[in-house]
Amino acid sequence: MEQRINPMGNELGAKWAKYIISSNKVIADSSLPKGLQELVKIRASQINGCGGCLDMHTKDAAAAGESAVRINLVGAWRETTVYTDAERAALELTDQGTRLADSSGVTDEAWANAAKHFDEDELMALVALICVINAFNRLNVITKTPGGAYQPGQYA
């Protein structure tokens, strides 16, 4: 696969990326658990078919201590026993928030379930995270940014 354009090698792309990356830092520094942040990024990236983000976030999840089983089963989270109720609520919100065109958006039931497990700041961090990873997914899919060469912490 040949990348169409390197967003970071383009002046406008690099300027734009600076802002989206800084918004991600706000989320990364929140009280939302780091492992959960990576699971959400993996799940949205699976749905969107983003190889670049899947490469990054599966490796970052492993480097952060997530087990191979939990990383590998994110795509089938409903049919597994390795996630907590809070993680399941976050993954459901991720699925619905990523697949907006497939339904009527995020259901009140999914929101209420997430609100049982996360305080208001964590909910906002979760919503922002879903928005940011979907933006990164779209950037990488449109530009055909390939996965495979990422090293954990490369962009820290």
Structure confidence at residue 8 (pLDDT):
87
pLDDT band per the 50, 70, 90 thresholds, residue 28: very high
pLDDT of 108-127, one tens digit each?
A: 999 999 999 999 999 999 99
Average pLDDT score over residue span 42-69? 96
* Alpha-carbon gap, residue 92 to 41, rounded angstroms: 13
Average pLDDT score over residue span 51-67? 96
* Alpha-carbon gap, residue 49 to 54, rounded angstroms: 8
Helix ranges restricted to H, 2-156: 11-28, 34-48, 51-63, 68-72, 85-98, 108-117, 120-143
pLDDT band per the 50, 70, 90 thresholds, residue 154: confident
pLDDT of 62-97, one tens digit each?
A: 999 999 999 999 999 999 999 999 999 999 999 999
Structure confidence at residue 41 (pLDDT):
98
Average pLDDT score over residue span 40-54? 97
Structure confidence at residue 26 (pLDDT):
94
* Alpha-carbon gap, residue 124 to 62, rounded angstroms: 25
Domain ranges of the chain: 33-143
33-143 in CATH: which number?
Answer: 1.20.1290.10
% of the chain at pLDDT higher than 70: 99
**Residue-level length of the chain:** 156
Structure confidence at residue 91 (pLDDT):
98
102: DSSP letter: G
